[in-house]
Amino acid sequence: QTVVTQEPSFSVSPGGTVTLTCGLTSGSVSTNDYASWFQQIPGQTPRSLIYSTTTRSSGVPDRFSGSLLGNKAALTITGAQADDESDYYCALYMGSGIWVFGGGSRLTVL
Amino acid sequence: EVHLVESGGGLVQPGGSLRLSCTASGFTYRSYWMSWVRQAPGKGLEWVAYIKHDGTDKKYVDSVKGRAIISRDNADNALYLQMNSLTIEDTAVYYCVRVGGDYSLDHWGQGTLVTVSS
């Protein structure tokens, strides 16, 4: 069974930089996993931030960037703002129409 | 503008059934794969099912296999999820999601809440 891992929580100071990661319990994440990142403010619908590892979705500020970092996918927020405080989920495409989400990371900006 | 509107959620007893619907607008619906993603109260996101643009391929998460059927009507721009033998663990907000380029889950509906309880 494929398990996608994320850090449960993170904190960052306003204006700071934070990197969230998305890994696999067995194996490495590669571009072939088409990693996606989503932001979900509590009580709201998830919003696509990044897809295909590095591509920003329409309307997403460039302070959000995606990359591969070692054997994981990564979401970096540069110049964090108060309204970036949210839950962040990654998803990996396993092929054949199957996706697996990570457990989510709660980001606190303080 | 892409618009996805779910309906059909509600309170259902364990062992019961429910059919969720999603109406799509603002894009050429028949050209896109579609998915359902759910979120249990206070929990994370879980991909549930996918259907190819022409309905010829479908996949399900293991926890709903044999109990769920995803379908679509391209003439009516509609997506469906039939859920049977519901358990308490199926309680969640169910989101209708468009699959865009490079397997992106790019547009989400507002969700419909399914509560399984006696």
Residue B96's closest CA among B115, B70, B73, B116? Answer: B70
pLDDT of residue A1 exceeding 90, the answer is no
Q: Which residues of chain A does B106 touch, with a Cβ-Cβ cutoff of 8 Å?
A: 48, 51, 57
Phi, psi angles (nearest 5°) of residue B101: -60, 150
Q: For chain A, what is the radius of gyration of the CA atoms?
A: 13
Percent of chain B with pLDDT over 90: 100
What's the pLDDT tens digit per position in B2-20?
Answer: 999 999 999 999 999 999 9
Give pLDDT, residue A2. 86
Which of B22, B105, B106, B112 is the best residue to mutate to test the A interface, defined by the most A CB atoms within 10 Å of its own CB?
A: B105
pLDDT band at A32 (very low <50, low <70, confident <90, very high): very high
> With left for phi above 0 and alpha for psi between -120 and 50, is residue B10 left, alpha or beta?
left
Residues whose CB falls within 8 Å of the CB of residue A3, separated by 6 or more in sequence, listed in order: A24, A25, A26, A100
Q: Calculate the alpha carbon distances from A41 to A84, A86, B9, B60, B89 in Å.
A: 8, 5, 22, 27, 23
* Cα nearest neighbour of A49 on chain B: B106
Q: Kindly state the tokens that stand for A90.
A: 């990654």
* Cβ-contact B14, B87 below 8 angstroms: yes
What's the pLDDT tens digit per position in B63-74?
Answer: 999 999 999 999
Q: Average pLDDT of A89-107?
A: 97
Q: Do A89 and B108 touch (CB under 8 A)?
A: no
pLDDT of residue B36 exceeding 90, the answer is yes
Q: Average pLDDT of A51-76?
A: 97
Round to whole Å and give the CA distance between A69 and A77: 14
pLDDT band at A71 (very low <50, low <70, confident <90, very high): very high
Percent of chain A with pLDDT over 70: 100
Average predicted confidence (pLDDT) for chain B: 98
- Tokens 């979120």 label which residue? B39
Q: Which residues of chain B does A93 touch, with a Cβ-Cβ cutoff of 8 Å?
A: 103
pLDDT of residue B102 exceeding 90, the answer is yes
